[in-house]
Amino acid sequence: MPDDAPIENVRAAIAQRLRHERALGIETVAPVALERRAAPTAASESILYDDVELKEAPAAPEAPVNAEDKAARWAALEARAQACAACALHRERQTVVFGEGNRDAQLVFVGEGPGEQEDKTGRPFVGPAGQLLDKIIGAIGLKRDDVYICNIVKCRPPGNRTPADEEVALCRPFLDEQLALLAPKVIVTLGAPATKTLLGTTQGITSLRGHWRLYKNIRVMPTFHPAFLLRQYTDANRRAVWSDMKQVVEKIKE
Ligand code: SF4
């Protein structure tokens, strides 16, 4: 890399190299420290784009070099998550809800955190909100097995409270690594915490939903969380989510 390469490129190259070394079992830098430096912040809102500005297709997402390397990285990542006690959420969890689905999916859903049913089963989105998410996935002609589903924190916040900023920051490296491995065409963020975390924005979900944004070089469609829809099952909210999902389908077909 040239000496005058943009600092973002240098950081990305260092992060990629260190992720690779970690997959090989070489822990040269604490994962949290590394990924927290690379995580988007509110200052990175300048990298967000409205769909009108997205005239050129973004570059293909970073993908692992080969299937063997990819499988090793998945295995190492999930093992680290299952053993993780980095934040206070590990104290009351029954299981670590790592995420599940098709690891070659073009579409990934990112939610907030496990609820009671998810904590019991170790699977994301299996409670009432999950059943509604299954219906949404079905409505766009896909099955749950066609997509990948995960959350911004892997352990249940007690009482289903919103995860604290520190908990999200400490768990963030798992999500970033999952998305790097998945390299999907589209990410749908479900609700405000997931959207704000992934996009590094302070805007509310009502103004963000329905508009394309970028996470690194992957397109992101923010929409309402299914749990919110269940609480406020109005025509307007259902139409909004359906409108967002129609845009997602069109983008995947491109
Ligand atoms: S929520 Fe994330 S960072 Fe916190 S203990 Fe669970 S896996 Fe670790």
Cβ–ligand 1 contact at 97 (below 6 Å):
no
Mean pLDDT of 149-155: 98
Mean pLDDT of 186-212: 96
Distance (Å) from CA 187 to ligand 1 centroid: 22
Return the CATH number of 7-253, one of 3.30.360.10, 3.40.50.10490, 3.40.50.10470, 3.40.470.10. Answer: 3.40.470.10
pLDDT level of residue 8 (50, 70, 90 thresholds): low
Cβ–ligand 1 contact at 155 (below 6 Å):
yes
Residue 155 pLDDT exceeds 90 = yes
Residue 12 pLDDT exceeds 70 = no
Mean pLDDT of 221-236: 97
In whole angstroms, give the CA distance from residue 85 to residue 199: 25
Nearest atom in ligand 1 to the alpha carbon of residue 87 is 4
**What confidence score (pLDDT) does residue 132 get?**
98
For residues 106 and 185, the answer to whether their CB atoms sit within 8 Å is: yes
Cβ–ligand 1 contact at 90 (below 6 Å):
yes
pTM of the model: 0.78
Both tokens assigned to 41: 């912040």
Give the residue from 183, 186, 182 showing the smallest Cα distance to 246: 186
Nearest atom in ligand 1 to the alpha carbon of residue 113 is 1
In whole angstroms, give the CA distance from residue 62 to residue 176: 12
Cβ–ligand 1 contact at 96 (below 6 Å):
yes
In whole angstroms, give the CA distance from residue 182 to residue 27: 22
Both tokens assigned to 92: 């009351």
**What confidence score (pLDDT) does residue 176 get?**
98
Phi-psi region of 153 (alpha: psi -120 to 50; beta: other; left: phi over 0): beta
Cβ–ligand 1 contact at 84 (below 6 Å):
yes
Q: Exposed (0-12), middle (13-18) or buried (19+): which is 249, by Cβ within 10 Å?
A: middle
Nearest atom in ligand 1 to the alpha carbon of residue 163 is 1
Mean pLDDT of the chain: 83
Cβ–ligand 1 contact at 108 (below 6 Å):
no
